[in-house]
Structure 1
Amino acid sequence: GDIFGAPLAIEATVAFFLESSFIGLWMFGWNKVSKKMHALSIWIVAFATNLSALWILLANGWMQKPVGYVLRNNRAEMVDFMALLTNPYGWTKFFHTILSGYVLAAFFVMGVSAYHLLRKNNIQFFNTSFKIASRFALISALFVLMTGDFHGVEIAKTQPTKFAAMESVWETQKAAAYPIIAVPDPKNERNSFEAILVPKMLSYLAFHDKEAEVKGLKAFPREDRPPVTITFLSFRLMVGLGFLLILLSLLAVVLSRKGTIETKPTFLRIMLFALILPYIAVQIGWIVAEVGRQPWIVYGLMRTADAVSKSIDSSQVLISLAGFTLFYGFLAVIDVYLLTKYSKKGPEESVSRMKLSSVAEEG
């Protein structure tokens, strides 16, 4: 890809090599490099991971809002790399995604801390880790809400069909009201049920202007509309989970402020099971992003149906899809197993095992 390949090539040659090099130094560098160098190596891994996400999301941002290109002989060619690099769609998506990852990490720490506090393991340590993570979660979740709002405005401007599907808007209207409860009926091109309408709220959410015009799905041909029901329900569920995570983070901050969160077993059990919620919210968010883009693989330029290679048959696609699914499913099982295994151990035992493994490798 003349356009799509460029950011991914930069990601692979810069960010990926930084990650792979310094994660090795961190894993096998116990007692071999200075403590400062050892700590710096994991910070470099974290930086490279964020850098990797940036280039990947800038590439995805071009698919959502193509910029800096010309069409020559039915082929998109890059003419302005800076336009791709400064694409506002890619940047709002990047910050929204990265901050969502921070929320996920914070809830993971709170969930693991809750597990150990319920078992009265190393209370002082896990009290502190829970307290720090709760504040990190609240701040990150609030910024997720803010960047999500900015991203929604960008979607309304550049992908009106996606925005209309996200909110199940059928008629083009100014000063559009926002239905808190709605049931889309794509067959009849309407909502079969609406309740609790907030006047002018939808226009404000779309353009930060209460009088702005919001395009409805009927303004676009049926063949250019995304699947409405799954996009709408996924978006509502994602937003609902987002507000739930903010509420849980706020409660965690309040209840842990005195350093006695271990005396709240009911809330700790809730936080233990809440560990999975950010994972669900992130996956649903990507459903909104990718299903809502349909029927386009590059919005407004290339349909998904036209992106299928004519040089391979359906059986080859099926075999490769099954292979990738099995392989990454296997990796996911290993990942969950290792996360569970080391989360159940105390911090001292986990670090000791890492150091012993490093020494064994040296020997």
Structure 2
Amino acid sequence: MDQLDLARWQFGITTVYHYVFVPITIGLSVLVAVLETAYVRTGKEHYKRAAKFWGKLFLINFAIGVATGLVQEFQFGMAWSDYSRYVGDVFGAPLAIEALLAFFLESTFLGLWIFGWDKLPKWAHAACMWIVAIGTMLSAYFILAANSWMQHPVGYRINPDSGRAELTDFVAVLTNSTLLSAFPHVLFACFMTGAALMIGVSAWHLARRRHQDVMRPSFRLASWVMLVAAVGVVISGDMQARIMTEQQPMKMAAAEALYDTVAPASFSIFTIGSLDGSDELFSVRVPRLLSFLATATWDGEVEGINDVQREEEAAYGPGDYRPNVPVAYWTFRLMIGTGLLAAAVAAALLVLTGRPGRWIRGLWPRRLAPPDGETVPRRVWRIGVWAIPLPILANSFGWIFTEMGRQPWVVYGMLRTADGVSPSVSAGTVATSLTVFTLLYAVLGVIEFRLLRSYAMAGPEEPAPEKPVDEDAEDAERQLAFAY
């Protein structure tokens, strides 16, 4: 492997690893804010205990996410210096705003939230978590603005003297059509991920009949959030697919492994064939679905890889403009499949653990029926525990598809990936840092998992026992007060 391959592996591993924590952070911050708001409005103590408990898991995840994110940004100057030199004036602007504005909101008000329990007014303390949640979403918006510019560059000019891209319209960067379609899609996926963690941990405790006053409302809240967010993911993903087809037709063609232009175009759920598309042994297809995803019409034309390759050769010169088609094809399906499975799990849990579930469970064979006194069998709660990794996998597959499908461009139509790598950094140096980062992240992953598992299994703090009432002492106090 040469320097370019190693640098790509390094950045890819860092990105996928870092993005395990990001959606959990964004999703949990909103859920914690909702639970604390319920405490402020109702005064019920179990909502306060719930907010504290899920807040602990949020803090653990937030800390690891910040550490991995900083390392990722350092790589732009270390392994990708030519990329940073060429587009740094544009790419660095939204990242700077993210650090100065969004991260400031997160860190400042998170500190107030941590140390402000029982010191700030209840409404002010809850507002701190809402500001943290807004900060996490703003961070996502500005970072996505930078990434969307790589997918569809706008608001810039090339300086003929320096040969560098210069920012001319920051508003255009922040209102990029790619960004406006990607942000809600990412945000809904984050809500699904945070909700999945809450569902899984709640289900684990409910299966053991522990902390039910905290876990039952947490479970119902997270299940509804997961289901509603899944609908948002589908709708926003449908919009994003059409913009992707318009701006990066090669990516859509690779997502279907479609080599020749067709109209209408079917969507293959599962296909076995040759890697170059010349031979297809077996395929399960949905007629006209790809045409609808790409063009919003059931009989629309979708360009194939071969035709887009010829167009890009004419526009950008000789070269191979095809991404890794098997990776694009399967990550696209795994993203959709794991996301839909997560939504199906949430819907099933809402039914099986609610009133309709009692009637459904009555149809089960006697050997599968819950024992006396148990309203929901443990096997149902286990479904919730296994739901935790599904949105995480969907997010990872989605980002791999997004970034790998853009290749060989690091900035689409402007700068190829091979031209963005640092020329002065040797393959040995990149290999060494890749090894160190991978081992370090493995250690951090073990620490994160053990901390989350430990605190999650411990559950929320039990309410303080009420002091026993001493009736004789009360009578003595009343008599003494009457005597005075």
Q: Which residue of 1 aligns with 2:152?
A: 65
Q: Aligned partners of 2:375 and 2:169: how far apart in 1?
A: 56
TM-score normalised by structure 2 residue count: 0.69
Flag the 1:20–1:152 CA change in 2: closer, same or farther, 3 A: same
* Partner in structure 2 of residue 359 of structure 1: none
Conserved? CA contact 2:206–2:215, under 8 Å: yes
Deviation of residue 348 (structure 1)?
Answer: 2.0
Shift of the alpha carbon at 1:93?
1.3
8 A Cα contact 1:189 1:218, kept in partner: no
| AA matched with 1:248 | V
* 1:238 aligned residue (335, 342, 349): 335
**Alignment pair present for 1:200 and 2:295:** no
2:436 maps to amino acid:
G
Residue of 210, 229, 233 corresponding to 2:298: 210
Given that 1:63 and 1:297 are in contact with CA atoms closer than 8 Å, whether structure 2 keeps it comes out as yes
Structure with greater strand percent: 1
Taking the TM superposition and a 5 Å limit, the aligned residue runs for 1:24-173 are 24-73=111-160, 74-173=163-262
- 1:110 and 1:42 map into 2 onto residues whose CA distance is 21
Contact 1:176 1:199 in 2 (8 A): yes
Q: Which of 225, 228, 236 is equivalent to 2:325?
A: 228
Unpaired runs of 5+ in structure 2?
Answer: 1-87, 311-318, 359-373, 465-484
CA distance in 2 between partners of 1:243 and 1:311 (Å)? 45
TM-superposed deviation, 1:191: 5.0
Q: Secondary structure at the match of 1:210?
A: coil
Q: Does 1:288 align with 2:385?
A: no
Q: Which moved more, 1:227-236 or 1:259-268?
A: 259-268
Match of 2:71 in 1: none
Deviations 1:166-209 (A, max 9, x none): 111110122222233323523x3335234343332211111102
Change (3 A) 1:272 1:34: same
- Structure 2: how far apart are the matches of 1:24 and 1:341? 23
Q: Is the 8 A contact 1:99 1:140 kept in 2?
A: yes
Partner residue in 1 for 2:105: 18
**1:274 maps onto 2:274 in alignment:** no
Which amino acid letter does the alignment assign opposite residue 149 of structure 1? D
Partner of residue 419, structure 2: 306
What secondary structure sits across from 2:320 in the alignment? Answer: helix
Which residue matches 1:252?
349
SS in 2 for 1:182: strand
User: Separation in 1 of the partners of 2:375 and 2:181?
Assistant: 38
Corresponding pairs, count: 350
Deviations 1:10-39 (A, max 9, x none): 000000111111111112222332222222
Q: Distance in 2 between matches of 1:108 and 1:203?
A: 35
Which amino acid is the alignment partner of residue 53 of structure 1?
A
Aligned to 1:356: none
Q: Give distance in 1, aligned partners of 2:176 and 2:247.
A: 12
Is contact 1:127-1:262 (8 Å) kept?
no
Number of the residue aligned with 1:339:
452
- 1:91-142: CA deviations, max 9, x gaps? 2111111111100111111101110011110224322221121111100111
Could you tell me which of 74, 90, 93 is aligned with 1:3? 90
**TM-score, L = length of structure 1:** 0.91
The structure with the largest alpha-carbon Rg is 2
Where 1:288 maps in the other structure, the secondary structure is helix
Amino acid in the other structure paired with 2:217: T
In 1, Cα distance between the equivalents of 2:187 and 2:263? 34
Deviates more, 1:199-208 or 1:41-50: 199-208
1:242-281 C-alpha deviation (Å, 9 max, x unpaired): 2111211111221233398951321211211221111111
Q: Which moved more, 1:330-339 or 1:320-329?
A: 320-329
8 Å contact from structure 1 (residues 182, 191) kept in 2? no
**Is 2:269–2:333's contact at 8 Å kept on the other side of the alignment?**
no
Q: CA RMSD in A?
A: 2.0
Tell me if structure 1 keeps the 8 A contact 2:257–2:277: no
| SS in structure 2 of the partner of residue 232 of structure 1 | helix
TM-superposed deviation, 1:312? 2.2
Equivalents in 2 of 1:262, 1:12: separation in Å? 49
- What CA distance in whole angstroms lies between the structure 2 residues aligned with 1:320 and 1:32? 45
| Shift in CA distance, 312/262, structure 1 to aligned 2, threshold 3 Å | farther
Say whether the 8 Å CA contact 1:184–1:229 is kept in structure 2. Answer: no
* 206 and 191 in structure 1: CA distance in 2 versus 1, 3 angstrom threshold: farther
Residue identity in the other structure for 1:316 = T
Please state whether the residue corresponding to 1:2 is helix, strand or coil. Answer: helix
Whether contact under 8 Å (1:2, 1:76) holds in the other structure is: yes
Amino acid paired to 1:102: F
How many Å separate the matches in 2 of 1:147 and 1:262? 37
User: For the residues of structure 2 that align with 1:279 and 1:191, how far apart are their CA atoms?
Assistant: 34
Partner Cα distance (1:157, 1:262) in 2:
52
Q: Out of 458, 461, 468, which is 1:348 matched to?
A: 461
Q: Distance in 1 between matches of 2:298 and 2:197?
A: 38
* C-alpha distance in structure 1 between counterparts of 2:211 and 2:107, whole Å: 33
Does the alignment pair 1:326 with 2:415? no
Identity of aligned residues (%): 42
Cα deviation, residue 75, structure 1:
1.6
Report the Cα distance in structure 2 between the residues aligned to 1:5 and 1:53, rounded to whole angstroms. 15
Does structure 2 conserve the Cα–Cα contact (< 8 Å) formed by 1:242 and 1:281? yes
Unaligned 5+ residue runs, structure 1? 353-363
Q: Distance in 2 between matches of 1:8 and 1:150?
A: 25
**Greater mean alpha carbon deviation, residues 160-169 or residues 335-344:** 335-344
Aligned partner of 1:315 among 428, 432, 445: 428
Q: Contact conserved, 1:184 with 1:228, CA < 8 A, in 2?
A: no
